[in-house]
Amino acid sequence: MKINGLHIENTFAEAFNMKASRVIVTADNIKWAKNACMSFTGFATSVIACGVEAGIEKEIKKTETPDGRPGYSILLFSMSRSQLEKQLETRAGQCILTCPTTALFSGLEGEDMIPLGKNLKYFGDGYQISKKIGARRFWRIPVMDGEFLCEETTARVPAIGGGNFLLLSKNRNSCLAACEIAVNVMSKLDNVITPFPGGVVRSGSKVGSKYKALIASTNDAFCPSLKGITNSDLNKDVSSVMEIVINGLTKEDIDKAIRESLIAISKSKYKKDILSVSAGNYGGKLGQYHFHLREILK
């Protein structure tokens, strides 16, 4: 199958059930809202080591935020309900509460509610003030630049993590440039994030390792430098492979992200160097969701 000359392999990405939450961070200006969000989403690439996978979803205009100030929405994903709750509260306390002029709000509605400012309020040392508007409770916590406004809870909802595709390229420059096109497309879509640095993964992994202490190790089948000594899935012309991992609130969200980003790559000048598009899976034995590339692009 080819899309505008871009070869799509007959394979699928394998993804997993996760839990997700969304928060909205605002500040006096967009610079400080972004500073808080960048800090919050740092070290949040993979649940293998980071507890959660998180990223900035999108910028939000001040006309659309709860307090009429500019801001961003953040999505967090975890396989563990307790880790999602713990990481959300810890990161909020260390990265949002500490950042000048910020406020923090729930970005999701649902029946499964988890703490946001519920415990952060104690930083106010008894001087915190509660305010309830409709069914939503907010806390005003005194801090040195004024006060930190934080909603008490936010929702936790079912989600999907690990949607992905791989770009197999003649060279690294074109591979990375094509990835950047895809990430830029996905940054404009709701309900998805690409949690790795800049949205791109160069160290794709397989399950297990020759070393018993490791649960994951380098995906040697897609490492160009190992073509001569391992059971490689690459032909002789591939010299660079990069992966984009996508987490989303629904399967349809991830389908859309894959489809629109690959179409954008297929219309770019870099497609001439992209030999094929593949995906990472585990033989269909681990993940609850399968994203078949050709079906998505029909």
Same domain, yes or no: 90 and 124: yes
158 pLDDT band, cuts 50/70/90, is: very high
> Among residues 172, 195, 248, which one has the least CA distance to residue 56?
195
**Total number of domains constituting the chain:** 2
How would you class 82 by CB atoms within 10 Å of its CB: exposed for 0-12, middle for 13-18, buried for 19 or more?
Answer: exposed
Same domain, yes or no: 209 and 239: yes
Same domain, yes or no: 69 and 115: yes
Same domain, yes or no: 232 and 130: no
Report the 10 Å Cβ neighbour count for 107: 22
**Last residue within a domain, chosen from 114, 133, 157:** 157
β-pair partners for 160: 17, 248
CA distances from 2 to 19, 182, 275 (A): 35, 17, 11
CA distances from 280 to 6, 127, 162, 171, 283 (A): 18, 52, 9, 20, 9
pLDDT value for 221: 95
β-pair partners for 137: 132
Residues 269, 225 contacting (CB under 8 angstroms): no
Domain with 97, as residue range(s), is: 19-157
Backbone angles phi, psi at 61, to 5 degrees: -65, 155
Summarised one tens digit per residue, pLDDT across range 105-144 is 999 999 999 999 999 999 999 999 999 999 999 999 999 9
Work out the percent of the chain whose per-residue pLDDT is above 90: 97
Residues 6 or more apart whose CB falls under 8 angstroms from that of 125 comprise none
| d(C-alpha 225, C-alpha 135), whole Å | 58
pTM: 0.95
144: left (phi > 0), else alpha (psi -120 to 50), else beta? alpha
**Last residue within a domain, chosen from 157, 173, 204:** 157
pLDDT value for 285: 87
pLDDT value for 37: 98
**Last residue within a domain, chosen from 132, 157, 182:** 157
Same domain, yes or no: 55 and 112: yes
Q: What is the CATH number of the domain that holds 29?
A: 3.30.70.520
Which is more confident, 125 or 282? 125
Same domain, yes or no: 168 and 224: yes
Same domain, yes or no: 48 and 78: yes
pLDDT value for 268: 98
153 pLDDT band, cuts 50/70/90, is: very high
**Mean local confidence (pLDDT), 24-38:** 98
Summarised one tens digit per residue, pLDDT across range 91-104 is 999 999 999 999 99
Same domain, yes or no: 125 and 25: yes
Same domain, yes or no: 153 and 176: no
Residues 71, 40 contacting (CB under 8 angstroms): no
Share of the chain residues as helix, strand and coil, in percent rounded to the nearest 5: 30, 35, 35
Same domain, yes or no: 173 and 277: yes
**Mean local confidence (pLDDT), 194-216:** 95
Average model confidence (pLDDT) for the chain? Answer: 97
Rg (alpha carbons) of the chain, rounded to whole number: 21
| d(C-alpha 125, C-alpha 142), whole Å | 9
Same domain, yes or no: 200 and 139: no
Same domain, yes or no: 140 and 193: no
Summarised one tens digit per residue, pLDDT across range 213-235 is 999 999 999 999 999 899 999 99
